Chains A and B, each alone.
Chain A
Amino acid sequence: EAGVAQSPRYKIIEKRQSVAFWCNPISGHATLYWYQQILGQGPKLLIQFQNNGVVDDSQLPKDRFSAERLKGVDSTLKIQPAKLEDSAVYLCASRALGEVAAGELFFGEGSRLTVL
């Protein structure tokens, strides 16, 4: 079974530039999460989708961050314009819908963003 795919793995941009990250979840996983992980901290939820609807985006800085999951499969997270404090690893995770065994999150390898 293919895992969660993310790209790019690494991105370096200047502040005020824009960047986009892409995530393709495990096939059949209805729920998709984007997390921001700043160095030395735990993952912080940015947005949670179920199919193509938003479940929670309360911690997404909507003045600069946007995310979409148009067809309920893959998702894009965009930052425009980037700030220095956006330097972090952006983790995408997916989960099967319903109470499936443990119902754990499956994570991608992450996209590491450096803002100069």
Chain B
Amino acid sequence: AQKITQTQPGMFVQEKEAVTLDCTYDTSDQSYGLFWYKQPSSGEMIFLIYQGSYDEQNATEGRYSLNFQKARKSANLVISASQLGDSAMYFCAMREPYTGNQFYFGTGTSLTVIP
């Protein structure tokens, strides 16, 4: 079974609008971490936001927020007030401490911001 599932290969959003990128995960561990990374066309992987499995509040970092629904095993990324520079690939990832801190990545969502 896939550890991380991203079902949206591509998304479009109008500049200044909000967009939600979906991510579901699969683990039997109680302790884990969820991450979102941005990969622009230049190729570097940029860390955006983190949510711990025991965190009760949804994580926020500037225009990024993580909508964490533990019972549904989903960790959707919300980008508010989209900017042209947000156009990139976005990857959801999970860290499992009990597998030696392996990180599992999804297949990514390509986001295009339209002016």
Chain A residues close to B by CB (< 8 Å)? 31, 33, 35, 41-45, 48, 50, 55-56, 89, 91, 93, 95, 99, 101-110, 112
Contacts and interface: CB of A to CB of B under 8 A. Distances in A.
Given A43-B91, A102-B33, A104-B35, A110 B105 contact: no
A41 B107 contact: yes
B interface residue count range (under 10 / 10 to 19 / 20 to 34 / 35 or more) = 20 to 34
Given A41-B107, A104-B50, A109-B44, A48 B100 contact: yes
Among all A-B residue pairs, the 9 with the closest Cβ atoms:
A102-B50, A42-B105, A107-B45, A55-B100, A104-B47, A43-B105, A42-B107, A110-B43, A109-B44
B101 A95 contact: yes
B100 A105 contact: no
A107 B44 contact: yes
Contact of B95 (A43, A44, A89, A103): A103
Given A56-B102, A112-B43, A42 B91 contact: yes
Interface in B25-41: 33, 35, 37
A33 B43 contact: no
Output the residue of A56, A89, A107 with the most chain B CB within 10 A.
Answer: A107
Nearest to B36: A104
Contacts of A103: 33, 50, 95, 101
A104 B91 CA distance: 13
Output the residue of A41, A56, A102, A108 with the most chain B CB within 10 A.
Answer: A102
Contacts of A108: 44
B12 interface: no
B102 A105 contact: no
